[in-house]
Amino acid sequence: MSVNDQSVEEWARTHPFSQPLRLGEVEAGVLARAPLAGTGTAWWVGAIGAVGWLSMGVFFLLGPGVALVGLLAIWLAGQEAPPGGTDPWITVSGLAFGVGSLAYALYLVEVVRARRRHTRDLVFGIVTVVASAVAFILLRTLPSDVAPSWLSIAVVAMGALGAALAVASLLSTPRPSKRERTQPPLRGPVDTADRDRYLRTRARVLDIVVRRGLLKVDEVEQGRINAMPLGYWEELDRVDERERRRILEYAVIGWREFTPSDQRVWSPPERQPKRKV
């Protein structure tokens, strides 16, 4: 049966879903219909996003190094005859701690959102705290006309963000064992473009049912539900609240042992609607 592009939204707004709401029922309804038109992402949007993430990743990986560079610059500025004079090294240290603070602020948001413990986060945070603390002590030994107050603020901000990163890492969920990190087998359409459209359509439908008051979740939990692999919402209906939260924690990397029987195709390829990419 042919359905128009808006039918899935209209269905989400008017369908009498069972109560309590079963997410598997919602997802099955989404996959039984054509995804919304215009849910794809223009290539330039993806390119901009990729550049942004790459830049943030480079800044973050250089974070501890930037803090150490800033520390070295402050130490050189405090010498009796620093190469090139004092001012250039004060400028270098300001740039280092300023850029480092921005990078850590951006990455801290991602660490808090993901809540996934990585050793590198803890190590980088500790290195940054130590480097910032030593840099602050050295700044206190410099004359006030040499060390501007804004530099002290940048150093303290970098150290505070490093400490927050370390704490966030400690409070995050430990990474699962190798056995648990089994990628869920593919479900739904094989075509990547179709899968992306269905994932975006599914997220839109979830937003509609939440706005209808059929599902009580906060923004964080809604984001985790959307992070579930396509075709696996039904697993959230068969467990208690504690297990449900555990599944959502491990949604991206796998929450149990999967078998070939977990891989399912929702409909034969010849029955899937033809859509322009």
How far apart, in whole angstroms, are the C-alpha atoms of residue 214 and residue 208? 9
| Residue 13 φ then ψ, to 5° | -80, -25
Of 11, 37, 15, 36, nearest in space to 201 by CA = 36
How far apart, in whole angstroms, are the C-alpha atoms of residue 96 and residue 104? 12
The runs of H, that is alpha helices, within 118-172 are: 119-140, 149-171
How far apart, in whole angstroms, are the C-alpha atoms of residue 203 and residue 271? 24
Q: Do 180 and 249 contact (CB within 8 A), yes or no?
A: no
**Planar angle of CA 108, 228, 119, nearest 5 degrees:** 35
3-state percent breakdown (helix, strand, coil) of the chain, nearest 5: 65, 0, 35
pLDDT of residue 62: 58
Alpha carbon 6 to chain centroid distance? 30
Residue 205: partners with Cβ closer than 8 Å, 6 or more residues away? 8, 9, 12, 26, 29, 30
How far apart, in whole angstroms, are the C-alpha atoms of residue 203 and residue 206? 5
Of 117, 244, 266, 252, nearest in space to 182 by CA = 252
pLDDT tens digits for range 63-74: 677 788 888 888
How far apart, in whole angstroms, are the C-alpha atoms of residue 136 and residue 265? 59
How far apart, in whole angstroms, are the C-alpha atoms of residue 195 and residue 248? 20
How far apart, in whole angstroms, are the C-alpha atoms of residue 189 and residue 106? 34
Q: For residue 20, is the peptide bond before it cis, meaning its omega torsion is within 30 degrees of 0?
A: yes
Of 246, 229, 243, 236, nearest in space to 20 by CA = 236
How far apart, in whole angstroms, are the C-alpha atoms of residue 28 and residue 73? 59
How far apart, in whole angstroms, are the C-alpha atoms of residue 107 and residue 179? 28
Which parts of the chain sit beneath pLDDT 70? 1-6, 38-63, 114-117, 173-182, 252-253, 265-277
How far apart, in whole angstroms, are the C-alpha atoms of residue 179 and residue 194? 30
| Residue 264 φ then ψ, to 5° | -140, 145
Report field, pTM of the whole predicted structure over 0.75: no
Amino acid at 1: M
pLDDT of residue 52: 56
DSSP 185: P
